[in-house]
Copies of this chain bind each other. A is one copy, B any other.
């Protein structure tokens, strides 16, 4: 069971994470934080060293949530190539899912932190690398299993897919139009079928 203190910390993160994600670091003020949580500065600064640490924790919190969504989704199949199709399928609903958390943290904080907050930027980079490693591993598993052509450069394709997905997320959010998300996922499915498949 959560102690009262642990509950408070969770409550702060859950409340504050979407705000930082939507507004960015500079545009989120401490009074936004206290207003949203219903707590005072004393409570916030008792739990987090400063605004930056809170923003980092909030980013990690949202990433964790979203990563667990996709992780459990691709568990639906054991087959590496099927897992790739499941990733494409997962992102078809990513707009409404990520909206719950105030948007895509990688895109939002990645752009926001660049030139502004090197600590946050570093956290974003680590997440991107982790995601790409996971996709690359799936592709490598697929090659080993004979499902995916041996000529495929796993890391290159992982980066390509990731880049396409981020582009689709940006376009979908900026234009408020799911066309980009859906169309890009179709494109990725075609890529899997026509380029990756052994």
Please report A residues at the B interface, Cβ cutoff 8 Å. Answer: 22-27, 102-103, 107-108, 110-112, 114-116, 121, 124-125, 128, 156, 159-160, 162-168, 170-171, 173-175, 179-180, 183-184, 187
Q: State A116–B103 Cα separation when bound (angstroms).
A: 13
Q: State A24–B156 Cα separation when bound (angstroms).
A: 31
Q: State A23–B187 Cα separation when bound (angstroms).
A: 33
The number of times this chain is found in the oligomer is 2
Per DSSP, are chain A's interface residues mostly helix, strand or loop, or mixed?
A: helix
Among A103, A108, A170, chain B packs the most CB atoms within 10 A around the CB of A170
Q: State A24–B175 Cα separation when bound (angstroms).
A: 19
Contact B27 A174 (CB under 8 A): no
Known: A24-B27, A167-B167. 18 other contacts (CB 8 A): A22-B115, A22-B116, A23-B116, A25-B27, A26-B26, A27-B27, A27-B116, A110-B174, A114-B173, A125-B175, A128-B171, A159-B179, A159-B183, A160-B184, A163-B168, A163-B171, A163-B183, A164-B164
User: A183 — which chain B residues lie within 8 A by C-beta?
Assistant: 156, 159-160, 163
User: A170 — which chain B residues lie within 8 A by C-beta?
Assistant: 107, 110-111, 163, 166-167, 170
Q: State A115–B108 Cα separation when bound (angstroms).
A: 11
Contact B160 A24 (CB under 8 A): no
Among A159, A174, A183, A184, chain B packs the most CB atoms within 10 A around the CB of A174
